[in-house]
C-alpha cells in the first residue's frame, strides 16, 4: 500500500506522499491482481497489508481486498491478517471497523515514546496518540498488537531507549520489532548533520544488546534478529520469508517467492493502476536453496538444523566446526542438533554467514 501522509526522511521504501485521489483506483488494481490467481487452488493462511501506510485506506476498502482474497485463494479460517498502521491515521472507530473487516493483527509504527525523538524522525504522531491507538485497538478486539521501535535515533540515549521499552511493554502488546536506524542513500537523512547525531558503532551495539535484554525481562522472547514476541505471538507471515515458504506480493515494488522463482513488481504506482496486471521482473529464476537456508535461518533464533542442512547438500562437519569456534567467542550456541546465534552474534551476523557459506 504505497501511500503516506508524507514521506519520513529516513525511509527508502517505495511510497508516495499524499495522492489520496488514487487510492480507489489502486484498490481496484489490487483486486484485479488477486483475481489473477483464482482457479489455481492456492492455500493461504496469512495476509499482510504493508506500506507505505495501509491504514490510510478506508476499512471498507481493506475488507474488499480481504473478500477478494477469500474468493480467489483457499484462505484458512484461522488466517493471520495483519495491517501496518501509523498511529496518526486511526481512531477507535476506524480500528473497530478494521476488526470487522477481518484484521486480527496490527503493527503500529511507534518508533519511540519520546516526542522529541519522534519529531526528529519526522513522524506525524506523538506518543500519547500512539498509546491511545494501541489501547483503542485492544478495546476494538484486536489482541495481537505489535509495535515498531527504532534504535540509534539522533540524540537517543540508553536512558531514553529504556523509557521507550518500558512504556511500550506497559501497553497490551504481544510483539515488538526493534530496528536499527540505517541511513539510506538519497534520503533526506543522508546528510552530515544527521550522520553526526546518530549512534556510532559502539553505542549501536550497546543499544541493541540493551533492547534484547530488557525486552526479555518483560517477557518478549527474541525469535529473529529484530523481532521479539510473547510466546505464541511470533509473526506467522514474516516467518514465511525466513523459512523459505512461498509468498505472493502485490503492489509496486512488492516481492514474491512462488513456485521456486523470485520476482518483483515494478516500482510504478500509475503503471500498476493502469495495467491489467502488475509488471513483474524475475530477480532470481533458480535460487540457491542451500545458501538461502543458511542466510535466512541464521536470522532466526532457531538457527540451522543440521539435518536440513545435510538434506540440502551442505557441509555439516565444516559448519559445526565453525559454529563451535563462534560458540567459544559467545557468538553462537549448538544445541539439539542445531546451531544458532546469540544476541551478541546477531551483531556480526553478516560476517558469520559469509564464513559459513565459504565453507560449503
What is the rounded CA–CA span in Å between residue 118 and residue 238? Answer: 26
What is the rounded CA–CA span in Å between residue 144 and residue 173? Answer: 7
Q: pLDDT at position 18, please?
A: 84
Q: Considering only the top CATH level, what class is 3-241?
A: alpha beta
Judge contact between 177 and 148, C-beta under 8 A. yes
Q: Does residue 6 surpass a pLDDT of 90?
A: no
Mean pLDDT throughout 269-279?
Answer: 97
Q: Does residue 300 surpass a pLDDT of 90?
A: yes
Q: Does residue 211 surpass a pLDDT of 90?
A: yes
C-alpha cell of residue 316: 555439516
Domain extents in the chain: 3-241, 289-357
Q: pLDDT at position 350, please?
A: 94
| Percent of the chain residues topping a pLDDT of 90 | 94
Q: pLDDT at position 92, please?
A: 95
- Per the prediction, the chain carries an average pLDDT of 96
Q: Is 44 helix (H, G, I), strand (E, B) or coil?
A: strand
Count Cα neighbours of 315 within 13 Å in the Cβ-side half-sphere.
12
Q: pLDDT at position 233, please?
A: 98
pLDDT tens profile 156-177: 999 999 999 999 999 999 999 9
| Residue 151 CB neighbour total at 10 angstroms | 23
CA terminus-to-terminus distance, the chain: 39
Q: pLDDT at position 17, please?
A: 86
What is the rounded CA–CA span in Å between residue 159 and residue 63? Answer: 41
Q: Considering only the top CATH level, what class is 289-357?
A: mainly alpha
Look up cell 495491517; give the residue.
83
271 by Cβ neighbours in 10 Å (0-12 / 13-18 / 19+) ranks as: middle
| Percent of the chain residues topping a pLDDT of 70 | 100
Q: Does residue 223 surpass a pLDDT of 90?
A: yes
Q: Is 231 helix (H, G, I), strand (E, B) or coil?
A: coil
Amino acid at each position: 500500500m504505497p501511500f503516506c501522509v508524507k514521506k519520513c526522511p529516513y525511509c527508502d521504501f517505495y511510497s508516495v506522499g499524499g495522492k489520496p485521489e488514487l487510492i480507489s483506483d489502486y484498490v481496484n488494481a489490487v483486486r484485479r491482481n488477486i483475481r489473477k490467481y483464482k482457479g489455481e487452488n492456492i492455500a493461504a493462511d496469512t495476509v499482510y497489508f504493508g506500506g507505505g501506510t495501509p491504514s490510510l485506506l478506508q476499512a471498507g476498502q481493506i475488507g474488499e481486498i480481504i473478500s477478494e482474497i477469500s474468493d480467489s485463494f483457499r484462505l484458512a479460517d484461522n488466517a493471520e491478517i495483519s495491517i501496518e498502521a501509523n498511529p496518526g491515521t486511526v481512531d477507535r472507530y476506524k480500528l473497530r471497523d478494521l476488526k470487522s473487516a477481518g484484521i486480527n493483527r496490527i503493527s503500529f509504527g511507534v518508533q519511540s515514546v519520546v516526542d522529541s525523538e519522534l519529531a526528529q524522525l519526522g513522524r506525524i504522531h506523538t506518543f500519547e496518540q500512539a498509546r491511545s491507538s494501541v489501547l483503542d485497538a485492544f478495546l476494538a478486539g484486536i489482541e495481537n498488537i505489535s509495535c515498531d521501535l527504532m534504535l540509534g535515533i539522533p540524540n537517543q540515549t540508553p536512558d531514553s531507549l529504556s523509557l521507550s521499552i518500558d512504556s511500550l511493554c506497559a501497553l497490551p502488546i504481544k510483539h515488538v520489532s526493534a530496528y536499527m536506524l540505517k541511513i539510506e542513500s538519497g534520503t533526506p537523512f543522508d546528510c552530515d548533520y544527521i550522520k553526526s547525531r546518530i549512534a556510532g558503532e559502539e553505542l549501536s551495539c550497546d543499544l541493541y544488546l540493551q533492547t534484547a535484554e530488557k525486552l526479555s525481562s518483560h517477557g518478549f522472547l527474541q525469535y529473529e534478529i529484530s523481532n521479539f514476541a510473547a510466546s505464541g505471538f511470533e509473526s506467522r507471515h514474516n516467518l514465511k520469508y525466513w523459512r523459505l515458504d512461498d509468498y505472493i506480493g502485490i503492489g509496486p515494488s512488492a516481492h514474491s517467492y512462488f513456485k521456486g522463482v523470485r520476482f518483483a513488481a515494478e516500482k510504478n504506482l500509475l503503471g500498476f493502476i493502469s495495467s491489467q496486471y502488475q509488471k513483474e521482473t524475475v530477480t532470481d529464476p533458480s535460487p540457491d536453496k542451500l545458501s538461502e537456508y543458511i542466510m535466512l535461518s541464521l536470522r532466526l533464533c532457531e538457527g540451522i538444523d543440521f539435518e536440513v542442512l545435510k538434506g540440502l547438500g551442505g557441509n555439516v562437519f565444516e559448519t559445526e566446526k565453525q559454529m563451535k569456534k563462534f560458540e567459544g567467542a559467545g557468538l553462537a550456541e549448538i544445541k539439539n542438533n542445531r546451531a544458532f546465534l546469540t544476541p551478541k552474534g546477531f551483531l556480526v551476523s553478516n560476517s558469520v554467514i559469509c564464513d559459513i557459506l565459504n565453507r560449503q
